[in-house]
Amino acid sequence: MQAVTYDVVVIGSGAAGGMAAWNLSRQGVNVLLLDAGTRFNPASYWSHVKPWEWNARLDRGQRPPAFRLDPREQPIELAQPFDLWRVWGRGGRTNIWGRVSLRYGDVDFEGPAKDGWEVAWPIRYMDIAPYYDKVDQLIGVSGGADDSDVLPGSRYHLPPPAPRCGEQLLKKAASSIGIRMVAGRRAVLTRPHNGRAACHYCGACGRGCDIAAFFNSSDYLIQPALKTGRVKVIDNAVVARVLTGDDGRANGVQYFDRYTKAERQVKARTVVVAAGAIDSTRILLNSKSSRHPNGIGNANDVIGRYLCEQIRFHMYGFLPQLLGSAVTNDDGITGEHVYLPRFNHRSPRQYLRGFGMQLWGCGAQANANYAKLMDGFGASFKTAVKKRYPALVALHPYGEVLPYRDNRVTVEGTANDQYGVPVARIEFKIGENERKMAAEMYDTAEAILRAAKAEVLPYRRGTVDMPGAAIHEHGTCRMGADPKRSALNGFCQMHEVPNVFVMDGSAFPTATEKNPTLTILALAWRASDYLAGQLKSRTL
Ligand SMILES: Cc1cc2nc3c(=O)[nH]c(=O)nc-3n(C[C@H](O)[C@H](O)[C@H](O)COP(=O)(O)OP(=O)(O)OC[C@H]3O[C@@H](n4cnc5c(N)ncnc54)[C@H](O)[C@@H]3O)c2cc1C
Ligand code: SF4
């Protein structure tokens, strides 16, 4: 029997792959979606299991869904510590993401062209703005009416939740020293939207939302895509390589069954790689052939390099006005209700790029972990901890890490995984630019807490979280106008192999200080529109 040749094989079903599969299929394109995992069943989530029921359930041998991939199943090699989060399963990391959904502005898109650090973005805000609008309407993003050069607004935002008391007081304190905070922007439904129920403020988002009141690619994109009848999903298909013909063009994909380890191949006219930045890069680098000895599309040795993300740290304090006040339910949509956009581009500074600040964890929410940082014992200690519970505020600045050539993913000389495929190795260090930026991030967080007259919990100035902790990997297959210095064009299409598209965060030339998923969705929508057009016109 003749093997089927799919119009498009999409690798990965997270934000990027889900968007590609949904958008292509609704335009009449036949898609095969390969994912290393399977669908998480919302009925099995422990979203509403009470804290005191957990231990009894665990004792009975029950377990919540294991979203985070165990590195023993799929190892990674590290030159320095790097906290890589992977979720294998339909929807990928969007099943448990933090939902912060910030548009990039021209400050972001024009940054590298202006300061000259590495390659310029080949697109500007006007190119992507219509796609941000479409994504906002499709997935539902709550946020305010604020609109600025650094954080463009949206007329499609759903209403934002009210700031918690601590957030309101921090906002006032920041404003008193000239720093603006705005409503947080989160892909959480604060009112019913497109037939989905609104969030009921249960505070369980990190365990998966069983009513899909926040965007996840499985429910919002893949389920509707399956309804078109033009998408086939193969679960537990761990892709190893993109296959190429004698002409150097992609003609299929090799994968292994996750459990039986059987090797399989499928044929394709075009391939969309969307397995998350690190795994997409690994697949591309492992796709070697006589035409692509350095990995597919990598004659210029760009793929794998320029890995970038964000530095971040955390500072906690207690606001005097709230000490000992009545404990209220501050869960809200979990995470922040307000956000501090980048402001440092308005004045001269000693480093490139910038930082913003997230404020999750303010007020009486999940637990009183801060007690571990407090001195004391006995009854007076308990009273002191309780008094502080409603008064907690938490500041989490995120600063851009520049794309450095030697921060990279490689597969040369690494061990093989259980399918005989070389695993990825990550090398990642921050530089002087980030250390200078971190100093100003600390100054800013301290100044806000001082202005709020907060009691500040101890912290070690200058320290930042382990690399990878921001869970925003970018840059390892970057887009750009110059084929010598970039791997993709502005439509995520490979310069060297035009029937391969790479649609996840690896396509970004810079990380910015912002969370990337809204932009991944918008770029993947734009790129898959372009791909559908190319297929229709038989250009590809
Ligand atoms: C706890 C947490 C909080 C986060 N908070 C935020 C936030 O607030 N805002 C934000 O913008 N982002 C946030 N993120 C990051 C966000 O989840 C990612 O940016 C986004 O999911 C990336 O989409 P993706 O499609 O590139 O990759 P993923 O969502 O990781 O999807 C990758 C897909 O590829 C599949 N896959 C991997 N390897 C293979 C292979 N070899 N073969 C076949 N399939 C494969 C996986 O099964 C998965 O379906 C958070 C992430 C986590 C874990
Ligand atoms: S807080 Fe809202 S979005 Fe989060 S799990 Fe509960 S209902 Fe879902």
Q: What is the percent of the chain with per-residue pLDDT over 70, rounded to a whole number?
A: 99
List residues near ligand 1 (CB under 6 A): 11-17, 34-37, 85, 87-89, 92-94, 96-100, 237-239, 274-276, 279, 283, 471-472, 504-505, 515-517, 520
CB–CB of 72/418 below 8 Å? no
Q: How confident is the model at residue 261 (pLDDT cuts 50, 70, 90)?
A: very high
Strand locations in 207-262 (E):
231-234, 237-244, 250-257
pLDDT of residue 1: 59
Evaluate: CB of 200 within 6 angstroms of ligand 2: yes
**Tens-place pLDDT, residues 40-84:** 999 999 988 988 899 999 999 999 999 999 999 999 999 999 999
Q: Which pLDDT value is given to residue 51?
A: 83
For ligand 1, atom 46: residue with the closest CA = 88
In angstroms, rounded to a whole number, what is the distance separating the alpha carbons of residues 277 and 475? Answer: 8
Residue range 352-367, pLDDT digits in tens: 999 999 999 999 987 7
Helix (H) or strand (E) holding 264: strand 263-273
Using CB atoms within 10 A of its CB, is residue 55 exposed (0-12), middle (13-18) or buried (19+)?
A: exposed
Ligand nearest to the CA of 47: 2
Helix axes 517-536, 125-139, angle to 10 degrees: 100
Please, which residues have CB within 8 angstroms of residue 179's CB and are 6 or more apart in sequence? Answer: 340, 343, 444, 447, 448
Give residue 223 CA to ligand 2 midpoint distance, Å. Answer: 20
Residue 47 Cβ inside 6 Å of ligand 2? The answer reads: yes
Specify the pairing of strand 500-502 against strand 263-273: parallel
Taking only the tens place, the pLDDT of each residue in 425-467 is 999 999 999 999 999 999 999 999 999 999 999 999 999 999 9
Ligand 1 centroid vs 215 CA: distance in angstroms?
Answer: 13
* Structure tokens that stand for 275 in this block: 């397995």
Residue 253 DSSP SS3: strand
Average pLDDT, stretch 200-204? 92
Residue with tokens 């690896």: 506
With 70 as the cut, is the pLDDT of residue 519 above it? yes
- The residue among 178, 225, 194, 224 whose CA lies nearest residue 25 is 225
Residue with tokens 């955390």: 314
Report which protein residue has its CA nearest ligand 2's atom 4: 205
Cβ of 334 closer than 6 Å to ligand 2, yes or no, is yes
For ligand 2, the distance from its centroid to the CA atom of residue 189, given in whole angstroms, is 9
Torsions phi, psi of 49, nearest 5?
-80, 125
Average pLDDT along the chain:
96
* Least trusted range by pLDDT, from 32-36, 141-145, 361-365: 361-365
Spatial distance between the Cα atoms of 328 and 528, rounded to a whole number of angstroms:
46
Nearest ligand, measured from the Cα of 200: 2
**Residue indicated by tokens 């000895």:** 293
Cβ neighbours around 257 below 10 Å, total: 15
What is the per-residue pLDDT across 390-428, written as a single tens digit (0 to 9) for each? 999 999 999 999 999 999 999 999 999 999 999 999 999
Supply φ then ψ for residue 504, to 5 degrees.
-100, -165
* CA-240 nearest atom, ligand 1: 41
Average pLDDT over residues 268-283: 98
Residue 398, beta-bridge partner list: 312, 356
What global pTM score does this model have? 0.98
Query: Could you say which ligand is closest to the alpha carbon of residue 213?
Result: 2
Q: How confident is the model at residue 369 (pLDDT cuts 50, 70, 90)?
A: confident
Q: How far is the CA of 403 from the centre of ligand 2 (A)?
A: 35
Q: Residue 140 corresponds to which tokens in the numbers above?
A: 């539902």
Alpha helix stretches (DSSP H) within 8-91: 15-26, 51-59
Pick the residue whose CA is nearest to atom 23 on ligand 1.
Answer: 15
d(C-alpha 20, C-alpha 169), whole Å = 42
